Chain A
């Protein structure tokens, strides 16, 4: 309980700091202007989404080995948070893309992979909803959690090969970031990670309480 509180406060503080760094501290990008500032949250969300799905993957394996339902709760919670951040990526992406590239959407490998990722884990969460028996739900969801994550790099490479066939691939903006931009990005990533940890702790707590209530009813 106590760790949760501390983490909550820390997450709120860090998000404020990250906001300051993203909107005030970091310089404006010369070509794109203010819109580029969405980049800090876009990249951080993408990082959290991938990390969250990785956590689901790890705890799915652990569940199958150890049969500890807490691991199943963690896997579920992390996937749910992951899909939230994945959604943020898919929303901020087009907002940034429109002024930067002139189109809302491009079938860029990263964006496309993220979309597929979103579908894989939407399926994962839906599957959980549609199985009533807790042990079956946990086992089957673990299988999807494991296979889904192993699939991600293969999806990414296949999409990258596919896009490089077509010459009109939109190139990402230049690699060189202003040092202050790098700082803002790192702080934003850190803040999101803390936020993720706080959310995961809360969500897992709720999941295991739900499990307890279900067992009392049963």
Chain B
């Protein structure tokens, strides 16, 4: 990041003059999105890509949205949260309860889950923001541990069904589209993600985004510039929770099931690891982070087993050994995350000029 002071001052002048800001989304990204949207037709109908792969892709996108949300808070605003699994759970439960109890259409529950999470995030953020750094991390960590217990709480049981969780039904594709439920949900999730990434890009490039970064880089200077720190921070917290809540809601619809055990604090850690490994304070890092959470972290055990058996290692490795090694190596070789690492690699090998 260039010093945010200059960004702020020049932004006051001519936004178009800012390098790297307000650029249109590159064509190859749109092509990629179109290709992704056509996948169910290309791969699904021909049987090249099974329903299970669509499930995995959907989940990857869901985690990308969640990592993006956390990234807005941690990467762009510099606040560490170990508790975003809580908002994931709130989003999932709002959707599940609305579908289960009030028989709402699943798509209609998404905005409500987002609003609910924004409110919860904002309200939690407001007092918690008096805490800085490690203290905030601890407060959010407590939240992550408390939420599953709340969901089991006796007096909420009529709504949450306690430890039993809530079963909902997977929606069928509408209009008799020739898609399987997995393929349809993949499209729904993809559409949500595209919208959310564009919105995030706009937030980051807006006045609000610059204020977020200014607070991260130079809190004192930001205050002096007339930025309302407390307000910006709580709104960022709310927006971040909203993103994660949407991810939770989509997750609930995909799995047709929510229960307190689905949202233990490991989920919060997974998101943070995804954000850091993907590349903090970059939007593309969120996609990589989502990929990492879905395909590396979840299959840590299988990966370890596979490597042990292919290389014929004579020793017994604990399930997460390879995962741990990957994490350490990545952190040493790419301290700015995979997105940051790739960007600096590109700068090195790119032809000059």
Pairing of A with B: no
